[in-house]
A and B are shown apart, each in its own frame.
Chain A
Amino acid sequence: MSTPDETSPRDLAAAYALGALSPEEARAFESYLATSPEARQEVAELRETAALVALSAPEAQPGPGLRARVLDAVAAGKVRPLPAPPASVPSWPAARRPSPLVWGALAASLLAAVGLGVRSARLAGELAQRDSTIAQQTRTLADQGQQLAARDSTLASVLSPGVELVQLTASGDPDPRIQLFWDRQHNTALLHASKLKPVPQGRTYQLWFIKDGKPVPSVTFNVAPGGDAVISQVSVPAEGQVSAAAVTEEPAGGSPQPTTPVLLVGALPKT
């Protein structure tokens, strides 16, 4: 049965507020909403009505530990996903490129990193998950009563305001990943590696910052058998334009200049 009323877009307001339109219907209704302040007011009221339906369910109480977990997740969410890299980064200044053979891979990876900005919306949810995992792990450390000082600085480096997250990824492979929680204010970073292959004996991973177009050596590290590593208090070059961070595999002890192709790379957001 169909009455003339049912063809009016406004009649969809209730179903829209209740989330009972198909995605296509909802999009069409939203175009209509954009043109009608009255319909927006009506939807606002119907949405309030729909939200109250939640209270018809038998009341259930969350456990006492949930508040802390929520705040952990929120604190982890303080770290924003990687913004689109600055346009200058992919166009690596050819004149200053230190070693075309080695760093050609970096340029290619940086191009891939541009894609990160596009993916950042999808990554945001995943990041929040991962970040809350880090927060959990950080808490576990604390619970063990170990490395209290390290925990404090770790927490500080992840939680302080203004911390930015830089994601280092291998080109074409989403799995090995490094997150750099970059505290601009203190020129330090917390490095969190996940799903990296442990390097063989006599070898090490090395982090590089790309400053004024040149690689500056940073920390060396290996990962646990599960592929994870957390390194706190990594110094970030304070002067100059640091455009990216990269990871290579090097002989144990690290190298003054990279000797192997870049494995992971990520652009640092501009100051």
Chain B
Amino acid sequence: MPNPGPVSSAPADRDLVAQAAAGDERAIGQLYDRYATVLYTVAYRISGQRADAEEVVIESFAQAWRDAARFEPGRGSVAGWLTMIARSRALDLVRARSRRERITQTAAADRPDAPLAMGAWRGDPADALDRIERGQQVRAALEDLSPPQRQAIELAFFEGLSQSEIAARLNEPLGTVKTRVRLGMQKLRTALRPFFFEQSP
């Protein structure tokens, strides 16, 4: 089982958001240390460019900072909130790029990932383990879906396609796609509930 949450001495995610809302930007630093890898991972998966993924992470935390006061704990976890912000920003960026054939800064885009320097990363190793274990569970749960269900969910999440767009892309009836999304997500929810970033009250 993944670590159910931060160790007791560390502030809870939502306390950090409250601190950010109160104007303390160190809270964003701590959230960065916990979730930058998740945000960067999803941004890189969607954009396919390191420079773009970095831009997305910057914009996402800047948006989290601006919107911290509007964060509603009842709507889900901080980690989920941050992840969905990064997904939206990455999709926005990819859409903008395809619209105007963005010229990427090759110097930045071609820079290889810096190796994880010992001591340079302030993330907690427990968070890293937690993330890796969650990732394994998520991949296993997606594998358990029917391939068309998994495909529909991945097209929606990583490519930002609506159900109608998925139907058009796959040349399938819209109703079929809707059913796949609905049943696939329900099955995924049941499988992943123990691994949610935060448990519902």
Contact = CB atoms under 8 A, between A and B. Distances in A.
B146 interface: no
Nearest to A75: B25
Contact of B114 (A20, A51, A63, A70): A63
A130 B97 CA distance: 20
B53 A60 contact: yes
Given A15-B163, A77-B65, A40 B74 contact: yes
A14 interface: yes
Contacts of A2: 175
Interface residues of A, number: 52
Given A49-B185, A64-B117, A56 B138 contact: yes
Interface-centre pick from A17, A66, A161 (highest chain B CB count, 10 A) = A66
Given A64-B114, A77-B62, A59 B32 contact: no
Given A15-B163, A20-B166, A70-B57, A52 B192 contact: yes
B175 A18 contact: no
B63 to A, nearest CB: 8
A44 B188 contact: no
Nearest to A63: B114
A17 B53 CA distance: 23
Interface in A7-57: 11, 14-15, 17-22, 25, 40-41, 43-57
Interface in A38-94: 40-41, 43-64, 66-67, 69-71, 73-78
A1 interface: yes
Contacts of B153: 18, 53
Please classify the interface of chain B as helix (H, G, I), strand (E, B), loop, or mixed, using the class held by over half of its residues. Answer: helix
A44 B74 contact: yes
A107 interface: no
B157 A53 contact: yes
Interface in B108-162: 111, 113-114, 116-117, 120-122, 131-132, 134-135, 138-139, 142, 153-154, 156-158, 160-162
A59 B189 contact: no
B23 A78 contact: yes
Contacts of B83: 51, 54
Contacts of A56: 135, 138-139, 142, 154
A6 interface: yes
A108 interface: no
Contacts of A123: none
Given A1-B175, A18-B156, A48-B80, A67 B200 contact: no
A66 B185 contact: no
Contacts, number: 208
Contacts of B38: 54-55
A126 B178 CA distance: 36
B46 to A, nearest CB: 9
B45 A58 contact: yes
A53 B111 CA distance: 27
B75 interface: yes
Nearest to B184: A14
Contacts of A11: 178, 182
B75 to A, nearest CB: 6
Contacts of A20: 156, 161-163, 166, 181
Contacts of B54: 62-63, 66, 69
Interface in A143-197: 161
Contacts of B4: none
A245 interface: no
A138 B132 CA distance: 38
14 contacts: A15-B163, A20-B163, A21-B162, A49-B188, A49-B189, A52-B138, A53-B154, A54-B83, A56-B154, A61-B114, A69-B54, A71-B25, A128-B62, A128-B66
Which 5 A/B pairs are nearest by Cβ-Cβ distance?
A14-B185, A51-B80, A57-B45, A20-B156, A54-B42
Given A53-B142, A54-B41, A74-B61, 4 more contacts: A22-B164, A48-B197, A63-B54, A64-B117
Interface of B: 23, 25, 28-29, 32-33, 36-38, 40-42, 44-45, 50, 53-54, 57-59, 61-62, 65-66, 74-77, 79-81, 83-84, 86-88, 111, 113-114, 116-117, 120-122, 131-132, 134-135, 138-139, 142, 153-154, 156-158, 160-164, 166, 173, 175-176, 178-179, 181-182, 184-186, 188-189, 192-193, 195-198, 200
